[in-house]
Amino acid sequence: MICGPRTEALLAEVETTKNQINGALYDIYKWVQPEKTEKNLILMLDKTYIVPQPYGVVLIIGAWNYPFLLVSSPLLGAIAAGNCAIVKPSEKAPETSKILKKLIPQYLHKECYHVVTGGVSETTSLLKERFDYIFYTGSPPVGKKIREASNKYLTPVTLELGGKSPVYIDDEVDMELAVKRIVWGKMLNLGQTCVAPDYVLCSKKTEARFIEIAKKTLLEFFGEDPESSPDLARIVNEDHFHRVVKFLSCGKIAVGGDYNAKENYIAPTILIDVKETDSVMQEEIFGPLLPIITVQSPDEAIEFINKREKPLTLYLFTTNKDLLRKFEISTSSGSMCVNDTMVHLSVDTLPFGGVGMSGMGTYQGKYTFDTFSHKRSVLVRSLNVFGEYMGKARYPPYSETKNKILKTFLVKRPNIIPSFVPKLLIFLLGMIAAFILKEVLELSSNGSHPRPL
């Protein structure tokens, strides 16, 4: 985390990474097991399963906003899946890059895991090499370049990008709680999070209530002078600072608006009367500015969201189940979090990733292991007479009778039969065959002797 409070760094980077490591150590035995699949009747006596295999050598390119987590999390999955890895931390987080450069070769096999530091030229050089998988976290423009570079060798990629994650607030929701959770999610790392709430959609009535409560919430969180608060981070560098400051000219400032260039500080700010065409609505803000767009209805909010690129996350505050269902089926986003912000990232049983311009591919927990694993299909056929008899209709000469047999046998059957059943079936057939043979032999034996007078 960049220039942020210690608590936020521990919460978002250190503890999250530790939990992911512990989870992987606990579950990896289950992850690597072959996955059994359903079969058809012809293959009833055979084995079909999927085996996870490492891709080989993977490239992991991290981002600056959470420079430790966004390297360690994919690296953990790559290691668990059995890959070697080249790690490229962000040059905009030089201190974290130095630590990773020191620790990774210190604790991991030097021939399997390397750290490459540097800027754009070093990344460009890396992308000229042939990797078996590329995992990138960052902006959509750079993500496009990563995708273009991967096409040379048809290298599969995961792109964890970003976008403008909207928040819709229903008029009937608990506003005190909703505002507190939205403000917390927005101001974590001073808004420099890929899933930070980017803008709010609500009615005019809810807008007024939101601003009123937000003022009290910000005072509670950061005091009378937020700039002196130890719990508020700073913008990463001068370039990003000036980019975000330009957005202050959009609409009207309802809360905040102060900034200090010497400290790369921008106060928590709420903007109102923002137009769709304003610059603040054209790109991901990645800062502590929160525009509010008023809408007349949930349908108008959905239409507003759908006119834009698909976001990484969509936030909805409502207790109305019908409205929740409406947003689920009428919008598209990488993930959806209802009645809170950010906390869905702490659930490693939920895959995290984007869709459309917000990214491709997912990770977290087992999903990271799956991302770095090629799923190899395996069929092991038996050579017994019964199995061959069931499948002999495939051989020429063909006939309509054989076609009907094949059509019946090739229909997929649910894999609900325990693995011992085919063996038991063969055993029973063997017993029946032995019994029939015994009876035939006895009859034959009796027939060879003359009958008594």
Question: What CA–CA distance (Å, rounded) separates 201 from 407?
Answer: 55
Is 194 marked active-site?
Answer: yes
Distance set, CA 329 to CA 173, 325, 350, 408 (Å) = 21, 6, 19, 37
Q: Are 241 and 235 in contact (CB under 8 A)?
A: yes
CB 280, CB 289: distance < 8 Å: yes
- Residue 73 contacts residue 368 (beta carbons within 8 Å): yes
Active-site residue, from 84, 194, 250, 337: 194
Identify whether the C-beta of residue 62 lies closer than 8 Å to the C-beta of residue 89. Answer: yes
Catalytic choice (160, 207, 284, 337): 160
* Tokens linked to 167: 């928040």
Does 3 participate in catalysis according to the annotation?
no
CA angle 282, 286, 288 (to 5 degrees): 110
- The residues carrying an active-site annotation are 160, 194
